[in-house]
Amino acid sequence: MTEEVILRFDEVNFEYDHDKPILDEVSFSVRKGAKITLMGQNGAGKSSLFSLIMGEQTPKSGQIHISNGATIATARQAMKREDFSLTVFEYFEKAFEVEQPDLASKIFKVMNAVNLDVPTDRKVGDLSGGQQARLLLANALIQNSDILLLDEPTNNLDKAGIDHLIEFLVMYDKTVIVISHDADFLNCFTEGVIYLDVFTHKIETYVGDYFSVVEEIKNRVEREQRKNAQLKKSIIDRKEKVNFFANKGGKMRQLARKLKLEAQEMEENMVDVRKEDKTIREFSIPVQDIAGEIVRINAVKVIKNHEPVIKETEKIIRKRMHLLVIGPNGIGKSTLLRTLVNNKDENAKILEGVKVGYYSQDFSNLDFEQTVYDSLSSILAEGLGEQDLRSVASGFLIDGSMMSHKVGDLSEGQKGLLNFARLTLMQPGVLILDEPTNHINFRHLPIIAKAINEYEGAMIMVSHMPDFVKQIKFDEELDLGTL
């Protein structure tokens, strides 16, 4: 008895934004109840593939089959800004076209499933990044759909949140397709990989856990490189012989023709070795020349039992000092960083005249209506010009063709890199970094960690990624959970 296929792509072609191919005659199938990872380089079209499955976009040609009218729900990377003004209850109401008489009971169950404990009359915009991540997942779960699409579900989640999500997915008996850069998370439940190649626009499918598949892909690339190296050597050898024998007469000339055909056949047999994402260039963040005390924190607002409580503390941050702020999701870490950036609380102040380089986990520090060029030029430090702007931007894979795009049209990963380009160009006196690894390709993380570690100004950071934090030297730690 064959296993039931719940989703099938049949020779699907899809273009995005006129003549920008994403999928080229792509065919694959997903069986009912499978736990699948969707991989691919930056810009390969992973989110577009999700949109095709959801029916939000239509293929240029080919067919997408969803079996027996199976239902689909998705948990996206980030909360839409227009939803910030809704209460949690109203946000869940939006998931249904018709009124649900037992909605309160359903909400209680899914919030418990994702370990989210907040009042349902709380505004979505007042939740922490981690709480919003859990809410996005709970909103997908409440629809009880046959296919669950998760786009970077571990962003903003602390370790407890990630562990809870893994436990849930392992026990979940429906079909799940996940986009994520978190290798350890994926390896806990993945049983297969769909790989979307940005260069060929083709799909490759693999069976096995995540680490096994990554190793298989690595070995395949090495085999392709060895095969090409051997063919290249043989091609050079035959071409040298062709040049030698072509000037001879009779049978030697015939041999030269034969060798030339062999060389051409070998060139045709050379395979396109998979190219992976480009990595950003190494960079440094220049620092504004500020002496003495830069940041002073005398008290912080922490959330205990859903209510804000003021707790006294004493942290003084000077030049070359790095402070790590820790604590569970919802305790008030991001609120503290926003308080510092707004600089309106006497208990948490940044010295007047200090340029603040802020990386917000939801990119609220960016103007989505600005062009990429205007976003960069608006913070350009004195003494820097057009050439500096474009050079720094290209180091973060922001090329000339992107400069006229609106910031809001960038992918989440591109918005993250734009933020780091801005920090480099503005030369801040203090860095305020709220989950700076969110949406960032894992290949870029060691380079970013090195630049942050070497930054010589004052720095305050929140991060849920232990491996990233380990690469940075911190002089002080502020644990909001123990205050």
Predicted TM-score (pTM) of this structure: 0.71
- For residue 427 the two structure tokens come to 């030369």
Q: Tell me the CA distances in angstroms from 308 to 300, 336, 433, one per residue in order.
A: 10, 12, 23
- For residue 1, what pLDDT band results from cuts at 50, 70 and 90? very low
Q: Which of 67-76, 98-107, 178-187, 237-246 has the lowest mean pLDDT?
A: 237-246
Q: Say how far apart CA 97 and CA 346 lie, in whole Å.
A: 47
Q: Say how far apart CA 415 and CA 405 lie, in whole Å.
A: 12
Q: Say how far apart CA 113 and CA 410 lie, in whole Å.
A: 32
The residue that leads in pLDDT, 11 or 126, is: 11
Report the chain's mean pLDDT, rounded to a whole number.
Answer: 87
Nearest CA to 476 out of 327, 320, 315 is that of 315
Nearest CA to 463 out of 472, 475, 451 is that of 472
Q: Say how far apart CA 181 and CA 412 lie, in whole Å.
A: 13
pLDDT per position as a tens digit, 303-347: 887 788 999 999 999 999 999 999 988 888 988 999 999 988 889
* Mean per-residue pLDDT, 295-299: 93
Q: Using the predicted structure, report yes or no on whether residue 273 has a pLDDT greater than 60.
A: no
Other C-beta atoms lying within 10 Å of the C-beta of residue 368: 14
> Coil, strand, or helix at residue 414?
helix
- For residue 363 the two structure tokens come to 């990119």
Question: Taking the CA of residue 258 as centre, how many other CA atoms within 13 Å lie in the half-sphere pointing to its CB?
Answer: 6
- For residue 417 the two structure tokens come to 């890199």
pLDDT per position as a tens digit, 209-263: 888 887 887 787 777 778 778 878 888 877 877 777 777 767 777 777 787 887 7
- Determine the pLDDT at residue 401: 85
Other C-beta atoms lying within 10 Å of the C-beta of residue 13: 15
Q: Are 37 and 180 in contact (CB under 8 A)?
A: yes
